[in-house]
Amino acid sequence: MSRPVARTWRGIELGLLLFPAALLLVGLALLILAQGRELAPRNLGAGFTFAACLVATHVWLTRAYPHADQLLFPIAATLCALGQVMVTRLVPTLGLRQSLWVGLGFAVMVATLTLLPGVSWLRRYRYLCAAAGLLLVISTFALGIDPNGSGARLWLGFGGVFFQPSEILKVLLVIFFASYLDDYRELLTYGGPRFGPITLPPIPYLTPLFLMLLLSLLVLTLQRDLGAALLFYSIFLAMLYVASGRSSYVVLGLALFVVGAALTYRAFSHVQLRVDIWLDPWSKAESSGYQLVQGLTALAAGGLFGSGLTFGYPEYVPAVHTDFIIAAIGEELGLAGSLAVVALYLLLVYRGFKIALECRDSFGALLAAGLTTVVGVQSLVILGGALDLMPLTGVTLPLLSYGGSSILANFLILGLLLAVSAETRRP
């Protein structure tokens, strides 16, 4: 085996970072020109600051973790740059806030890498992670607010800044799952009680795991945060599969999902409504299906190359700067733009799984695979919902949508992925 050669600089990353820097600068310049404002450097402050942050983060990574994956950060930065352009275009007053969140996101990523005394340190604090995450989410029952009028009190607020605890919970839960599943990996692979062809997991050993999962699902269902519930269940199933390698668990899990989904459908009228809209949005185009119909219409209006920034009418789509940002991208940048976004997520997911595959330590691999699944599945859940492929549940499109908690949580994920990668490749 050839030992990784020591590198002192990250050339690929620096080269690729030119792209997000240019994307935001050109995008903001286009917005200024389209609005007929003066194209002066002082109007492009957010763009220059972003470029400076990119360079600073890059320099810090070069010094501290020269061997960590070089593609992850540029891919994420490109999505962030596009997100800032779109948010600025859609809700100009939120553009600067989004840039601020992205900057804070970089800081969170750097802090994660700096403060974490090694990835394996995390496995020791799995119950603390789980408890802290759950506590945060449960606290929204008492303290939760609904700043956007979405009908669900999913946010905690302090001094005009709102935070969505389920965003952080998903990261903490992945840490917990990875740690727990890694400990019981052999048991899982061996399997528990058998009923003919079906092998059940060794349930008694996994009680804390199931308890944790059920508690999370219960809390989220009660809070009507269906998107997050779906996401958590997918993560659990994916990580169980990765840890055990048994596809029978996946079949079993999907069967349970069908039962659970059927029960939720029966129990909650808002779930029924979501499913009805999914099956036929057109007949409800003026009522409950309005958002989806307008989203699809915006996408269709964009065609292959889009109307051009500011020349479309995405503002007819409710929540277009958060959940439905893909509709705005599709309308103004066309199929070319929306497919580019899909390609970026594909690349991000590819790099994430590559990090997991390269990791020699099973906990790190599980952690990386789980975190990557979070980003991938969350993108698929909202994209699929906005494209009428599945019932619509409100989650953000990672790194693109407006939203501070989402940006910070995703940079926390990036930081952890880079940490796994850095440990793996350390010469």
Partner 1 sequence: MRTAIGRLHLALTLGFAIVGLTLGYWQFFRRAELVSRSTNPRVEEEARQVLRGRILDRNGEVLAQTTETPSGPARSYPRPGTTHVTGYFSPRYGETNVEARYDDYLRGARSANPLEALWSSLLHRRTVGSEVILTIDARLQQMAQEALGSWPGAVVALDPKTGAILALASSPTFDPNRLDESWSTLTHDPSQPLFNRASQSAYTPGSIFKLVTAAAAIDLGLVNLDAKYRCTTQMDLAGLKVDCRNHAQLAEINFREAFAWSCNRTFALTGLELGAGPLVLGDDLKRPLGWEANGIQPSVERLQEYAARFGFGKEIPFELPVAVSRLKGDGDWYPSLLGQTGFGQGEIQSTPLVMALAAATIANGGVMPAPYLGDEARAPGGAVSQLNRPGGSLGRVVKPDTAAALNQMMQLSVEAAYAQPAKIPGVKVAGKTGTAEAGPGGATPHSWFVGYAPADNPRVAVAVIFEHRGSGTQFATPAGQRVMKAALDLYKR
Tell me: does residue 192 bind partner 1 (CB under 8 A): no
Nearer to partner 1, 168 or 181 (CB): 181
The minimum distance between CB 335 and partner 1, in angstroms, equals 4
The minimum distance between CB 246 and partner 1, in angstroms, equals 9
CA distance 155 to 104: 19
Tell me: does residue 265 bind partner 1 (CB under 8 A): no
Tell me: does residue 212 bind partner 1 (CB under 8 A): no
Tell me: does residue 248 bind partner 1 (CB under 8 A): no
CA distance 345 to 74: 12
Contact (CB, 8 A) for 108 and 413: no
Contact (CB, 8 A) for 171 and 136: no
Tell me: does residue 296 bind partner 1 (CB under 8 A): yes
CA distance 311 to 182: 52
Tell me: does residue 79 bind partner 1 (CB under 8 A): no
| Binding segment (CB under 8 A) for partner 1, from list 37-45, 153-161, 286-294, 394-402 | 286-294
DSSP assignment letter at 3: P
The minimum distance between CB 385 and partner 1, in angstroms, equals 11
| Cβ within 8 Å of residue 408, ≥6 positions away | 101, 104, 105, 108, 167, 168
The minimum distance between CB 227 and partner 1, in angstroms, equals 15
CA distance 361 to 357: 10
For 169, half-sphere exposure in the C-beta direction (CA atoms, 13 angstrom radius) is: 28
The minimum distance between CB 320 and partner 1, in angstroms, equals 13
Nearer to partner 1, 275 or 340 (CB): 340
| Binding segment (CB under 8 A) for partner 1, from list 149-157, 225-233, 339-347, 409-417 | 339-347
Tell me: does residue 392 bind partner 1 (CB under 8 A): no
Cα–Cα distances (Å) from 170 to 12, 149, 341, 354, in that order, read 31, 23, 23, 21
Candidate list 65, 345, 402, 411; residue touching partner 1; CB under 8 A: 345
Give the total of residues touching partner 1 (CB under 8 A).
49
Candidate list 338, 393, 401, 421; residue touching partner 1; CB under 8 A: 338
Kindly identify the residues of this chain, within the stretch 364-383, that bind partner 1 according to CB under 8 A: 365-366, 369, 373, 376-377, 379-380, 383
| Virtual torsion, Cα 27, 30, 31, 32, nearest 10 deg | 120
Candidate list 119, 220, 319, 349; residue touching partner 1; CB under 8 A: 349
The two tokens of residue 255 are: 């069967």
CA distance 299 to 242: 36
CA distance 193 to 249: 13
| Cβ within 8 Å of residue 259, ≥6 positions away | none
Q: Which residue from 424, 402, 426 is spatially nearest to 354, judged by alpha carbons?
A: 424
Tell how strand 161-163 and strand 156-158 pair up. Answer: antiparallel
Tell me: does residue 220 bind partner 1 (CB under 8 A): no
Nearer to partner 1, 30 or 215 (CB): 30
Which residue is it, tokens 């840490």? 175
Kindly identify the residues of this chain, within the stretch 91-130, that bind partner 1 according to CB under 8 A: none
Q: Which stretches of the chain bind partner 1, using CB under 8 A? A: 238, 241-245, 285-286, 293-294, 296-297, 299-304, 308, 311-313, 316, 330, 334-335, 338-339, 342, 345-346, 349-350, 353, 356-357, 362, 365-366, 369, 373, 376-377, 379-380, 383-384, 387, 389
